[in-house]
Amino acid sequence: MSKKEWPLWEIFIRSKAGLSHKHVGSLRAADAEMAVENARDVYTRRSEGISIWAVESKDVYASDPTEADSLFEPSDSKVYRHPTFYDVPDGISHM
């Protein structure tokens, strides 16, 4: 890391109780505390959140898009995992 620059952090915000934290963007901060405070000022100026997660960008390990075929396509053929795969006789509800 350059001395002249703060590390990059990915910011996740929970917009209200009951919802998951959602990625909103990134920012720079020298430490985790500052990352959360900066996120408060940058990403919740209009009451967009009630909880903030900050993760240093270098700690995010991501899947490789060139492997998307082998990672995600096999599940496309497993249609039996979805309820619509099954026939339910008329007159049956709540199933």
Partner 1 sequence: MSALFEYIIRLGDDSLILGHRMSEWCGHGPILEEDIAMTNIALDLVGQATSLLNYAGQVEGNGRDGDKLAFLRYDREYKNTLLVEQPNGDFGTTIMRQFLFDAYRKPLFEKLQNSSDKQLSAIAEKSLKETKYHLKHSSEWVIRLGDGTEESHQRIQEALNTLWRYSSELFYTDEVDATLLSQGIITDIAEIRAEWEVTVKNVFEEATLQIPSNNWKQEGGRKGMHSENMGYILAELQYMQRAYPNMEW
Partner 2 sequence: MKDINISELERKFQEKIDKDIKIEPKDWMPDDYRQTLIRQISQHAHSEIVGMLPEGNWITRAPNLRRKAVLLAKVQDEAGHGLYLYSSVETLGANREETIDDLHSGKAKYSSIFNYPTVSWADMGAIGWLVDGAAIMNQVPLCRCSYGPYARAMVRVCKEESFHQRQGFEIMVQLAKGTPVQKEMAQDALNRFWWPSLMMFGPNDAESKHTAQSVKWKIKRHTNDELRQMFVDATVPQAELIGLTIPDKDLKFNEETGHYESGAINWDEFWEVVKGNGPCNKDRVDTRRKAKEDGMWVVEAANAYAAKRAIRKSA
For partner 1, the closer of residues 2 and 66 by Cβ is 2
Q: Per residue in 30-42, is it b (16+ CB within 10 Å) or e — as a string? A: eeeeebbebbeee
* Segment interacting with partner 2, rule: CB under 8 A, options 18-26, 69-77, 78-86, 87-95: 18-26
Query: With binding defined as CB under 8 A, does residue 46 bind partner 1?
Result: no
User: Contact with partner 1 (CB under 8 A): which of 24, 38, 52, 54?
Assistant: 38
The option from partner 2, partner 1, none interacting with 55 (CB < 5 to 8 A, set by class) reads: none
- Give residue for tokens 């990672």: 71
Q: Which of residues 8-27 bind partner 1 (CB under 8 A)?
A: 27
Half-sphere exposure of 13 (CA within 13 A, CB side): 21
Handedness of CA 36, 37, 43, 46 (dihedral sign): positive
